[in-house]
Structure 1
Amino acid sequence: MNISNESPLMELVRPDIRGFAGYNSARREGVTGSIWLNANESAWRNPADAGLGANRYPDPQPAVLRQRLATLYGVRPEEVLVGRGSDEAIDLLVRALCRPGQDAVVIAPPVFGMYAVSARLQGAPLVEVPLRDGAGGFDCDLEAMASAAVSSGAKLVFICSPANPTGQAVPVADLLALARRLAGRALVVVDEAYGEYSDQPSLAAEIAGQPNLAVLRTLSKAHALAAARIGCLLADPALVAVLRNCQAPYPLPTPCVQLALAGLSEPALAATRERVQAVRAERERLRVALADAPGVRRVYPSQGNYLLVRFDDAGAAFARLLEASVVVRDMRASPQLGDALRISIGRPEENDAVLAALQAGRAAA
């Protein structure tokens, strides 16, 4: 794919990657025909193939899926890179922008662990600016993050909003101000994996006017397609082109693409919107009920489909939930969360099971 060297973002890309053409797979050559003998595929379908055509390599970036995602998120198709969940985009960003041992990555823990994992695998210095835990919940110290990015020479700043596992959303105006301050220095990546559950609008529409801003989205959460592993990066077209050249040749399996397209149909989207509202209602119901549950010290407000809860004895609470066949996320190994569990919002009867298990602890006491 051609890359515009005129984009200011190219200065943030590793010099050795700027002209990197990547692997020119058989499906990137742009040729058409009816007899395909260019990719060393099998001419016969597998006996178990019920019409998928899985004997042929898939389109690396299906145009119809890019267009549908662009429409969903309010951007242009050329601003969309589709990949294997958000994780692949995180890894591609770190590999393409950060020189090992030189270009840092800034994060605000406790936060989604894949930012740190990708930085470590690349050998990129990791700069941590801890979240602040206040009366209203956790919040990002964006001023400190900006200063840390400048002083460390960071190329990437990852901000999760709504934040996993802490639940807060960062105001759009504050994120835009951060991106403007770091223009020419670093790419600000806002992870909106839980954006559908939030009161706050997406920053996707701001990308065209702020090229050093990028947004991560996924179909794994609100769209209920976690097993399909479809996510996307919304970014300046020049950056999208760079990352496509760094991406594996065939990242999107045909069955996953077909499932994603079906899941983004108008009837499916209407059902998703209804379920999002149901989750938001259950989130509030569970938040109020948990605050009165035995052993609960604090329930944090959340803009995601989960609640972060502090316990007098998180280990005992975790064990009681497991005894009731309820599996939640143990956060005790995370910084500042040594007494906390993260509880995803389930169906009403599943949320009732959480409350019943915790109430059983009161009866046992």
Structure 2
Amino acid sequence: MSPVLDLVRDDLRDFAGYSSARRTTVSGSIWLNANESPWVSPADPGLALNRYPEPQPVLLRERLARLYGVATPQLLITRGSDEGIDLLVRAFCRAGQDGVLIAPPTFGMYAVCARVQNAPLHEVALIDDGDRWSLDVERVIERVATQPIRLVFLCSPANPTGQALPTADIRRLALALRGRAVLVIDEAYAEFSPVDSAIGLLAEFDHLVVLRTLSKAYALAGARVGSVIAAPDLIGVLRNLAAPYPVPAPSAALALAALEPEAAAAARSRVQTTIAERGRVETALRSAPGVTHVYASAGNYLLLRFQDAEAAFQRLLAAGVVVRDMRANPVLADALRISIGSPAENEALIAALATLKSGRAA
């Protein structure tokens, strides 16, 4: 048994979950075990949607495991990364007792899932050194050593700040957290980053978890296909906590099609275009009027500070360009996050900001 299971909630270590009709190993030609309709809907595109889908579609799970270079038992398919985050908090955190550590400013779902579970939230703020953000590794290690923390969520590349965690920092954290907490590296934007994936460290650390998704680089945000990659024993625990049928048949079919050689090659080409456009947009916006700072980014987005963020936001909206307003976060009170679009979309963005006046509105 993997040592990481010692960190799982005591009441869930032997929890078997719901045994759905499709989770059993029985087979046959007449299916009367799940109270399904025997008739196919006229709206069905040929996917047999009158039947429940496989809880973990075998072909897709195998294909995703090959994509990420892991064994199939190390991977759980989830409804985007959001479900993986939620499952991890529920598996490791007893309400009101076991804490979750995050490094703000960061992706908001970590805090949301912690609150829903009533898991105490601990924060170690990122360091803004003027050009890029960085993680205070020493403070994270100190906090986990002195507080009842079971999960550490880190985003790499980080959303919204853009920096990627060096492999050496992840290994250092994993060594320090062993036996104390589970280290989760959310790699939703890994395809856009030059830094190696933390997946390469899984063989060394059974308390390391990596989250991946097809939402970004593979252009399937609407299909909701994510992966939790971890030790097989931990994957087994999470699977028992998951909903009976987390992967809709249409989503599984779309994901398999997107991972076919020709479609996957197109995705890689789009990633390279995005990386090139990221550099072009960054250069253009550094000299745009009213822009005070553009942070370096390893994701498919840029974080910008403005002399007057409200004026910039409204100017973009007037041009039909919608960006993410980050001003609710006190340390980003003058900031907007801008996704890298197509070359034409990026031109519209640059043109809109080129007309922004320097200085603050009266």
Q: Shorter-chain TM-score: which interval? A: over 0.9
2:349 paired residue among 332, 354, 361: 354
1:114 paired residue among 98, 103, 109: 109
Which consecutive aligned stretches of 4+ in structure 1 deviate over 4 angstroms post-superposition? none
For residues 239-258 of structure 1, the aligned pairs below 5 Å read 239-258=234-253
In 2, Cα distance between the equivalents of 1:171 and 1:359? 35
For residues 17-28 of structure 1, the aligned pairs below 5 Å read 17-28=12-23
The one-letter code sitting in structure 1 at the alignment partner of 2:80 is G
In 2, Cα distance between the equivalents of 1:134 and 1:234? 32
Instruction: Give yes or no for contact 2:307–2:358 (8 Å, CA) kept in 1.
Output: no
Structure 1 residue 210 and structure 2 residue 205: aligned?
A: yes
Structure 1 residue 60 and structure 2 residue 62: aligned?
A: no
Instruction: Give yes or no for contact 1:109–1:335 (8 Å, CA) kept in 2.
Output: no
Number of aligned pairs? 360
In 1, Cα distance between the equivalents of 2:169 and 2:163? 14
* Number of the residue aligned with 2:98: 103
Cα offset for 1:50?
A: 2.4
In 2, Cα distance between the equivalents of 1:218 and 1:335? 29
Which is worse superposed, 42-51 or 238-247?
42-51
Instruction: Give yes or no for contact 1:110–1:335 (8 Å, CA) kept in 2.
Output: no
Cα offset for 1:363?
A: 9.9
In 1, Cα distance between the equivalents of 2:206 and 2:358? 57
* Number of the residue aligned with 1:148: 143
* Number of the residue aligned with 1:325: 320
Q: Residues 251-280 of structure 1, C-alpha deviation per residue, up to 9 Å, x if partnerless?
A: 110000000000011111111111100000
Structure 1 residue 341 and structure 2 residue 309: aligned?
A: no
In 2, Cα distance between the equivalents of 1:132 and 1:363? 27
Cα offset for 1:216?
A: 0.3
In 2, Cα distance between the equivalents of 1:9 and 1:360? 55
* Number of the residue aligned with 1:185: 180
* Number of the residue aligned with 2:5: 10
* Number of the residue aligned with 1:3: none
In 2, Cα distance between the equivalents of 1:131 and 1:363? 29
* Number of the residue aligned with 2:155: 160
SS of 2:55's equivalent in the other structure is coil
Instruction: Give yes or no for contact 1:300–1:307 (8 Å, CA) kept in 2.
Output: yes
1:267 paired residue among 248, 262, 265: 262
* Number of the residue aligned with 2:44: 49
SS of 2:356's equivalent in the other structure is helix
* Number of the residue aligned with 2:78: 83
TM-score (norm 1): 0.97
Instruction: Give yes or no for contact 1:189–1:215 (8 Å, CA) kept in 2.
Output: yes
For residues 188-199 of structure 1, the aligned pairs below 5 Å read 188-199=183-194
The one-letter code sitting in structure 2 at the alignment partner of 1:236 is A
Unaligned ranges ≥5, structure 1: 1-5
SS of 1:214's equivalent in the other structure is strand
Q: CA RMSD in A?
A: 1.2
TM-score (norm 2): 0.98
Instruction: Give yes or no for contact 1:75–1:205 (8 Å, CA) kept in 2.
Output: no
The one-letter code sitting in structure 2 at the alignment partner of 1:353 is A
* Number of the residue aligned with 1:133: 128
Instruction: Give yes or no for contact 2:290–2:358 (8 Å, CA) kept in 1.
Output: no
In 1, Cα distance between the equivalents of 2:200 and 2:73? 14
In 2, Cα distance between the equivalents of 1:335 and 1:140? 18
2:223 paired residue among 212, 221, 228: 228
Which is worse superposed, 123-132 or 327-336?
327-336
SS of 1:361's equivalent in the other structure is coil
Cα offset for 1:201?
A: 1.0
For residues 309-324 of structure 1, the aligned pairs below 5 Å read 309-324=304-319
SS of 2:149's equivalent in the other structure is coil
In 1, Cα distance between the equivalents of 2:26 and 2:336? 52
Cα offset for 1:153?
A: 1.5
1:36 paired residue among 22, 28, 31: 31
Cα offset for 1:361?
A: 2.1
SS of 2:168's equivalent in the other structure is helix
The one-letter code sitting in structure 2 at the alignment partner of 1:149 is V
Percent identical among aligned pairs is 60
